[in-house]
Amino acid sequence: MHIVIAGNIGSGKTTLTQLLARHYGWRARMESVTHNPYLEDYYKDMRRWALNLEVFFLKERFRDLLTINRSKRTIVQDRSIYEGVYIFAANNHDLGNMSDRDFETYMGLFNSMMMVAREPDLMVYLRASVPHLVGNIQKRGRAYEQDMQLSYLKQLNDRYNRFMTEQYHGRAITIDVDNLDFVNRREDFEYIIGRIDEQLSPHPTLL
């Protein structure tokens, strides 16, 4: 079985992935930290290197997806290939960093990949407001995230909400996390577990 934890930067998806893996005895699959060889070039000239950057990320996430699909264990994954495509690559396109022609080629590659892959059994979307995201980003103190613009986080939030309501058609639940502290309050974590159990209860052998 394949469970995905989806959400914007700072929504808490990595932390929740680890907590759920411990609670259920699932195997956690964290977002790939493989160095993208185009990253440095991309930040120097985004329009020149955006397609290369996004194709590399797509290749890595597709390989992760195939590995997950072959696994006999239940996998809980931090971010999915769908977010890389419909949120981040699409945002690069709309910002003008990828031409229409390049984006069409990229989406054609993604659609071909999806012919041999299957959707997650459940996607758990952690929905958060921009102030909540900013608070978490500041709290964890990653230097490269501290100058992230509010407008960028809002763009990504809008894309996530559109993705979940209009573009993704698999089994999914949305959890509003602004008023939850699932790390320090047991009742908040149990609320999330309850929501997940409701979705998986027809398949008790998968828990």
Catalytic (active-site) positions: 78
Report how far residue 153's alpha carbon sits from residue 160's, in angstroms, rounded to the nearest whole number: 10
12 is in an annotated binding site: yes
133 is in an annotated binding site: no
Kindly list the distances between the CA atom of residue 158 and the CA atoms of 21, 22, 155, in Å, as whole numbers in the listed order. Answer: 29, 31, 5
11 is in an annotated binding site: yes
Q: Is 184 helix (H, G, I), strand (E, B) or coil?
A: coil
135 is in an annotated binding site: no
Helix axis angle for 46-70 and 100-113, nearest 10°, is 10
| Number of helical H runs and strand E runs in the chain | 9, 5
181 is in an annotated binding site: yes
9 is in an annotated binding site: yes
**Sign of CA pseudo-dihedral 50, 158, 109, 74:** positive
182 is in an annotated binding site: yes
88 is in an annotated binding site: no
Give Cα 87 to chain centroid, integer Å: 9
> Which distant-in-sequence residues (6+ apart) come within 8 Å of 72 by Cβ?
none
72 is in an annotated binding site: no
- What single string gives the DSSP state of each residue in 10-68? TSSHHHHHHHHHHHHTPEEEPPP----TTHHHHHH-HHHHHHHHHHHHHHHHHHHHHHH
> Which residue positions form the known binding site?
7-15, 180-182
> Which residue positions form the known binding site for ATP?
7-15, 180-182
